[in-house]
Amino acid sequence: MNDLIPPYESILERIATAAKRSGRHPDDVTLIAVSKTHGADVVRDAVAAGMTIFGENKVQEAAWKIPLSPSCARWQLIGHLQTNKARQAVRLFETIHSVDSVKLFDTLEQAARQTGARPEIYLEVNVSGELTKFGLTPEKVPALVEHILEQGQALTLTGLMTMAPFDPEPEHARPHFAKLRALRDQLESQFGIALPHLSMGMTGDFEVAVEEGATDVRIGTALFGARPKMTRPTLDVDTTSGIL
């Protein structure tokens, strides 16, 4: 289990160095350990090593993993969410990074009112225009923000999230991250609201993301190694991790 500690500490150091390089405080950046595809045994080791916040991209996978994991672990949904999982999602996650439509927001809002759960929500923005990506185009974001400000009672919008296109050169991600930050600044002044969270940066590009203002970096591979390949998430994870 101690194998986890050196990568964790070196990632924290790299985050801190990137933060200082850009005149920011290391504490302003939160590491979300992306545990998707890994079993609860990996989460347990990660908690023992000091990690506290975990990112999952599938509601069903989180639903079996969370009860098997230490109760001090906190969970955030970073992957695409379908409306039929909204009710489960508001109960499982403290933050949902992937709100990208009026319909999804309305369903989450209703689920929050009914269940009493109050996750923070971020809007997922497809700043690169890549067709394979989920998320709103930047042009569509203001209308959804307006809708949320009018209709949101239970849920509060606190940030934006994006994924840069896959590219082995981290510098190529910089303009996408800068664009998300500029959009955030524009929304804050247009609507007079605070959007303190910028969820951006993964294993390949988190230092650049921190330099561009990321407050939430979502890191999986650099902490836990390559992910096991899965076709049927729940079954295959249970088998490969040997926990059930």
Ligand X SMILES: *Cc1c(COP(=O)(O)O)cnc(C)c1O
Decide: is 220 part of the binding site for ligand X (CB under 6 A). yes
Interacting residue with ligand X among 18, 78, 108, 160 (CB under 6 A): 78
Interacting residue with ligand X among 11, 19, 31, 34 (CB under 6 A): 34
Decide: is 57 part of the binding site for ligand X (CB under 6 A). yes
Q: Residue holding tokens 């959009």?
A: 183
Q: How far is the CB of 205 from ligand X (least distance, A)?
A: 9
Stretch that binds ligand X, among 40-48, 58-66, 69-77, 215-223 (CB under 6 A): 215-223
Interacting residue with ligand X among 79, 119, 135, 159 (CB under 6 A): 79
Residues 6+ apart with CB under 8 A from 169: none
Decide: is 203 part of the binding site for ligand X (CB under 6 A). yes
Q: Is the Cβ of residue 127 or residue 202 nearer to ligand X in the bound state? A: 202
Interacting residue with ligand X among 42, 195, 218, 241 (CB under 6 A): 218
Q: How far is the CB of 149 from ligand X (least distance, A)?
A: 25
Listed in sequence order, the DSSP H helices in the chain are: 5-21, 40-48, 59-68, 86-92, 102-115, 141-151, 174-191, 206-211, 221-224, 233-241
Decide: is 60 part of the binding site for ligand X (CB under 6 A). no
Looking at the DSSP assignment, which residues form a beta bridge with residue 53? 74
DSSP conformation class of 125: B
- Pair 101, 110: CB distance under 8 Å: no
DSSP conformation class of 208: H
Give the whole-angstrom CA distance, residue 10 versus residue 16: 10
Residues that bind ligand X (CB under 6 A): 34, 36, 57, 78-79, 163, 202-204, 218-222
